[in-house]
């Protein structure tokens, strides 16, 4: 079966900084995959290459067999990305924002799906509210909604619960688990390692632009009996 995401020998430099130093990994269709590492490890750079926002200096990235550079339009259609940054247009309501995002992918009259997303992200009461009037947590929910509005088979969540209250976190993960159960591939970066431990089938640990550990969550934990994922993470980073 074609991998959901294939990353082969990807290198990316910024001046003298090698942000990615030959990263290779495949993520299977339907996986819930964790991409973990300290700040500066290269996670966001790798996601930028996956989303076609940054061009690797070397290597290849593909989404469901579609090369991100050579077949950008199709690769991007198959991908939904929740970025770390709160990027939004202040002139539209939440519903208008999601309709506009749908239009970027040629989708019209999908209010039933928009309503379902709003319900699961506890945004239904804010559907007609202007984006600039929302709290930071609410804006982050809208970013998640935007990533899901075109029903992409591969969903990338880059620190989706940063600054988000516990109640929303629980509701968000319930919804994302449901999508994963329906066959969507989920790629998660998070500093909340207990989330990764509870959710991810397999985990890659990154350090200084390289993958330094890659295995199932169960195997990573079994190699360090009695340790939490946070302890496994810290031990790996100290090597």
SS3 98: helix
Buried b (16+ CB within 10 A) or exposed e, 180-209: beeebbbbbbbebbebbbebbbbbbbbbbb
Q: Write down the pTM of the prediction.
A: 0.91
Instruction: Quick: pLDDT tens for 181-219.
Output: 999 999 999 888 888 999 999 999 999 999 999 999 999
What CATH number is attached to the domain comprising 55? 3.40.50.300
Q: 3-17 pLDDT, tens per residue?
A: 999 999 999 999 999
Look at residue 126 and tell me if it is in a domain. no
Contact by Cβ (8 Å): 187, 201 = no
In a domain, 213, yes or no: yes
Q: Which of 54, 4, 20 is nearest to 211 (CA)?
A: 20
Instruction: Write down the pLDDT at residue 175.
Output: 85
**Distance from the Cα of residue 187 to its chain's centroid:** 5
CA distance linking residue 146 with residue 143, whole number of Å: 5
Lowest mean pLDDT: which of 22-31, 54-63, 96-105, 128-137?
A: 128-137
Q: What is the maximum span of the chain, computed from C-alpha positions, in angstroms?
A: 53
Q: Rounded to an integer, what distance in angstroms lies between the CA atom of residue 118 and that of residue 22? A: 39
Residue 22 domain-assigned (yes or no):
yes
Domain enclosing residue 209, as ranges = 1-78+197-239
SS3 of residue 192 by DSSP: coil
Let me know if residue 67 belongs to a domain.
yes
Note whether residue 68 is domain-resident.
yes
């Amino acid at each position: 079966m074609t991998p959901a995401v294939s990353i082969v020998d990807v290198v990316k430099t910024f001046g003298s900084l090698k942000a990615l130093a030959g990263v290779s990994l495949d993520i299977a269709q339907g996986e819930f995959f964790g991409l973990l590492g300290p700040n500066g490890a290269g996670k966001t750079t790798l996601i930028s290459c996956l989303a076609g926002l940054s061009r690797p200096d070397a290597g290849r990235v593909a989404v469901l067999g579609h090369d991100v550079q050579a077949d950008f339009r199709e690769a991007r259609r198959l991908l939904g990305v929740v970025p770390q940054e709160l990027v939004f247009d202040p002139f539209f309501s939440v519903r208008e924002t999601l309709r506009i995002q749908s239009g970027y992918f040629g989708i019209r009259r999908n209010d039933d799906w928009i309503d379902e997303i709003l319900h699961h992200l506890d945004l239904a009461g804010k559907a007609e509210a202007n984006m600039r009037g929302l709290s930071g947590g609410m804006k982050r929910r809208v970013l998640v909604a935007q990533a899901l509005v075109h029903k992409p088979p591969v969903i990338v969540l880059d620190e989706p619960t940063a600054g988000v209250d516990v109640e929303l976190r629980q509701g968000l993960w319930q919804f994302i688990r449901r999508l994963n159960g329906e066959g969507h591939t989920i790629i998660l970066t998070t500093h909340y390692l207990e989330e990764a431990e509870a959710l991810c089938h397999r985990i890659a640990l990154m350090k200084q632009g390289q993958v330094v550990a890659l295995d199932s969550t169960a195997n990573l934990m079994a190699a360090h009996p009695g340790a939490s994922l946070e302890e496994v993470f810290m031990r790996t980073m100290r090597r």
